[in-house]
Amino acid sequence: MELRDLPSVDELAGDGRLAHAASRPLLVSAARSALARAREEIKAGADPGDLVGRVELELAATREARLRRTINATGVIIHTNLGRAPLAQEALERVRAVAAGYSNLEYDLGEGGRGSRQDHVAPILRRLTGAEAALVVNNNAAAVLLALAALAEGREVLVSRGELIEIGDGFRIPDVLARSGARLREVGTTNRTRAADYERAIGPETALLLRVHQSNFRVVGFTEQPRLAELVRVGRAHGLPVVDDLGSGVLVELEDEPSARDALAAGADLVCFSGDKLLGGPQAGIIVGRGELVERLRRHPLQRALRADKLTLAALEATLALYLEPESAARRIPVLRMLVEPVEAVEARAERLSAIVGGEVEQTVGRVGGGALPLAELPSFACAVEEELAEPLRRGEPPVVALVRDGRCLLDCRTIADSEVDEVASAVTAARE
Ligand SMILES: *Cc1c(COP(=O)(O)O)cnc(C)c1O
């Protein structure tokens, strides 16, 4: 075939075989793309083949979902690139119920008038953390931004040099601080900061003391950070609030990961944490603490721009409800379930998968991820298959994201659910074809 043999866009889109394939505008754009590719191939000396078939492929690609369910075979439980926390069944059901119809999102059913979207989740957050008041926004970055804007705009915020962190995707504490309109005043040094360093830095311009959980790294060796209670003592002595950004935040006892309840009990005035890290819910930023401060955040104009939507609030309320019975939380919330699953069960899954696909069972180390417990090593097991399968597995349906190490592709079974084993096995078979 030569360039001049190609039909026009209109001719191709008008081909009878495509008559019911799509609307006219979609057909025209698919025909245009198919012809552009065909032209490239002819110039490269190749035969473009059946053009109608090419248009059908273009149409299929246009209709295919881009944001897709993906199987996490990396062993990293809270994987930010893979959407962080999978939701509990109860949360999914609540989202479906609330989203499929109307809801009382901002309607007070008792009074028959306007209500607040913040009123649904606040009571259970207060109960679970012991806080006076609670507020939910779009994510934890927004929570920190709102707290600083509402409490420290135009004034100074004291932060330890050891806590000026960057978490994934360029979220840097100093940048958020600048955007809030507050001014950063660094205290202490990278490895050592004492309560006295805050004390010395306090002046007429100081608005609050900010503590940031170090999240994704640890400074080891000759280090010192004041305990929260010491910071609170300094804040109280000068009438300044202490805001604690916990990052992940947990609602159950988990190694040395700080919980909102502990932070409030130590005297923090406001505590911020994420909804989709260790909590295991939807993306959200949760702020709990003193009623009068939370109220200032709620009234700030940015709150309207940063608020959470009804799907988030529905999923969050249902997830939080599971924490009312701590044993049900560990069973029902996927993040917690993966975290506490006995290694023998993970090994059994790796054996089952390996038996189907002819792989080898290999001991691995899983991670919590999401900036929580960065040094924690979760004993795990993987099914090891050929390295070349990593790419076709990613491109398959459903996509499977695995780790490549030492010339092999590792399917880590800590983050693969029991119900996904057969699917992963089929994906491996398909990837070998
Ligand atoms: C993850 C994290 C954030 C940002 O939370 P998002 O919910 O991702 O916006 C802020 N601070 C700390 C310490 C974190 O670990």
Residues 265 and 401 placed together within one structural domain of the fold: no
Query: Residue 176 — very low, low, confident or very high, per pLDDT cuts 50/70/90?
Result: confident
- Residue 171: pLDDT above 80? no
Over residues 280-314, the pLDDT tens digits come to 999 999 999 999 999 999 999 999 999 999 999 99
Over residues 65-105, the pLDDT tens digits come to 999 999 999 999 999 999 999 999 999 999 999 999 999 99
Residues 350 and 284 placed together within one structural domain of the fold: no
| Spacing, Cα 137 to ligand 1 middle (Å) | 13
| Spacing, Cα 170 to ligand 1 middle (Å) | 11
The gap from C-alpha 252 to its chain's centroid, in whole angstroms, comes to 19
| Most ligand 1 atoms within 8 A of CB, residue of 84, 167, 225, 312 to mutate | 167
* C-alpha to C-alpha distance for 283 and 102, rounded to whole angstroms: 22
> Which CATH number characterizes residue 403's domain?
3.90.1150.180
| Most ligand 1 atoms within 8 A of CB, residue of 78, 80, 140, 169 to mutate | 140
Report the number of secondary-structure helices (H) and strands (E) in the chain. 18, 17
Q: What pairs with residue 60 in β-bridges? A: none
Query: Residue 222 — very low, low, confident or very high, per pLDDT cuts 50/70/90?
Result: confident
Residues 386 and 427 placed together within one structural domain of the fold: yes
pLDDT of residue 259: 92
| Spacing, Cα 247 to ligand 1 middle (Å) | 5
Choosing from 275, 302, 331, the residue where a domain stops is 331
Residues 75 and 108 placed together within one structural domain of the fold: no
Peptide bond into 398 cis (omega under 30): yes
pLDDT of residue 422: 97
CA distances, 330 to each of 73, 128, 130, 325, 337 (Å): 21, 15, 21, 9, 5
Residues 327 and 341 placed together within one structural domain of the fold: no
Residue of the CA atom closest to atom 5 of ligand 1 = 140
**Residue-range definition of the domain harbouring residue 203:** 89-331
Q: Is the dihedral of CA 45, 46, 48, 49 positive or negative?
A: positive
* C-alpha to C-alpha distance for 32 and 43, rounded to whole angstroms: 17
Model pTM score: 0.93
Q: Is 285 close to ligand 1, i.e. is its CB under 6 Å away?
A: yes
pLDDT of residue 168: 67
- Looking at this protein, which amino acid is placed at residue 210? L
Q: Which residues contact 232 (CB under 8 A, 6 or more apart)?
A: 242, 266, 267, 268
Residues 309 and 343 placed together within one structural domain of the fold: no
Phi/psi of residue 168, nearest 5 degrees: -55, 155
Query: Residue 226 — very low, low, confident or very high, per pLDDT cuts 50/70/90?
Result: confident
Structural domains in the chain (count): 3
Instruction: Identify which of 256, 275, 415 has the alpha carbon closest to the alpha carbon of residue 341.
Output: 415
pLDDT of residue 254: 84
Q: Is 167 close to ligand 1, i.e. is its CB under 6 Å away?
A: yes
Query: Residue 218 — very low, low, confident or very high, per pLDDT cuts 50/70/90?
Result: confident
Q: Is 140 close to ligand 1, i.e. is its CB under 6 Å away?
A: yes
DSSP 279: T
Residues 271 and 405 placed together within one structural domain of the fold: no
* C-alpha to C-alpha distance for 262 and 129, rounded to whole angstroms: 8
| Most ligand 1 atoms within 8 A of CB, residue of 169, 175, 215, 218 to mutate | 215
Over residues 110-162, the pLDDT tens digits come to 999 999 999 999 999 999 999 999 999 999 999 999 999 999 999 999 999 98
Q: Who wins on pLDDT, 191 or 323?
A: 323
Residues 117 and 13 placed together within one structural domain of the fold: no
* C-alpha to C-alpha distance for 360 and 354, rounded to whole angstroms: 6
Choosing from 299, 316, 331, the residue where a domain stops is 331
Q: Who wins on pLDDT, 322 or 172?
A: 322
Query: Residue 169 — very low, low, confident or very high, per pLDDT cuts 50/70/90?
Result: low
Over residues 371-390, the pLDDT tens digits come to 777 777 899 999 999 999 99
Whose structure tokens read 């099914």? 383
Which helix (H) or strand (E) element contains residue 412? strand 408-412
Q: What is the mean pLDDT of residues 214-234?
A: 84
Instruction: Identify which of 257, 201, 202, 195 has the alpha carbon closest to the alpha carbon of residue 226.
Output: 195
Residues 360 and 294 placed together within one structural domain of the fold: no
Cβ pair 397, 69 in contact under 8 A: no
What's the whole-number average pLDDT of the chain?
94
Residues 26 and 94 placed together within one structural domain of the fold: no
Concatenated DSSP letters of 312-376: HHHHHHHHHHHTTSHHHHHHHSHHHHHHH--HHHHHHHHHHHHHHHT-EEEEEEEEEETTSSTT-
Choosing from 285, 304, 331, the residue where a domain stops is 331
Residues 352 and 295 placed together within one structural domain of the fold: no
* C-alpha to C-alpha distance for 55 and 40, rounded to whole angstroms: 15
Q: Is 245 close to ligand 1, i.e. is its CB under 6 Å away?
A: yes
Q: Which residues contact 150 (CB under 8 A, 6 or more apart)?
A: 296, 297, 299, 300, 302
The gap from C-alpha 356 to its chain's centroid, in whole angstroms, comes to 32
Pairing label, strands 183-187, 270-274: unpaired
Question: What ligand 1 atom has the least distance to the C-alpha of 165?
Answer: 13
Over residues 240-293, the pLDDT tens digits come to 999 999 998 889 888 878 899 999 999 999 999 999 999 999 999 999 999 999
* C-alpha to C-alpha distance for 29 and 35, rounded to whole angstroms: 10
Distance separating the N- and C-terminal Cα atoms of the chain: 31
Burial of 392 per CB tally in 10 Å (0-12, 13-18, 19+)? middle
Cβ pair 371, 410 in contact under 8 A: no
| Spacing, Cα 167 to ligand 1 middle (Å) | 7
Q: Is 255 helix (H, G, I), strand (E, B) or coil?
A: coil
CA distances, 182 to each of 135, 154, 178, 199 (Å): 21, 5, 6, 19
Q: What is the mean pLDDT of residues 190-202?
A: 91
Q: Is 380 close to ligand 1, i.e. is its CB under 6 Å away?
A: no
| Spacing, Cα 246 to ligand 1 middle (Å) | 8
| Most ligand 1 atoms within 8 A of CB, residue of 81, 137, 166, 171 to mutate | 171
Name the percent of the chain lying above pLDDT 90.
83
Instruction: Identify which of 335, 328, 185 has the alpha carbon closest to the alpha carbon of residue 257.
Output: 335
Residues 310 and 406 placed together within one structural domain of the fold: no
Q: Is the dihedral of CA 324, 327, 331, 335 positive or negative?
A: positive
Residue of the CA atom closest to atom 14 of ligand 1 = 247
> Which CATH number characterizes residue 313's domain?
3.40.640.10
| Spacing, Cα 368 to ligand 1 middle (Å) | 15
Which helix (H) or strand (E) element contains residue 53? helix 51-63
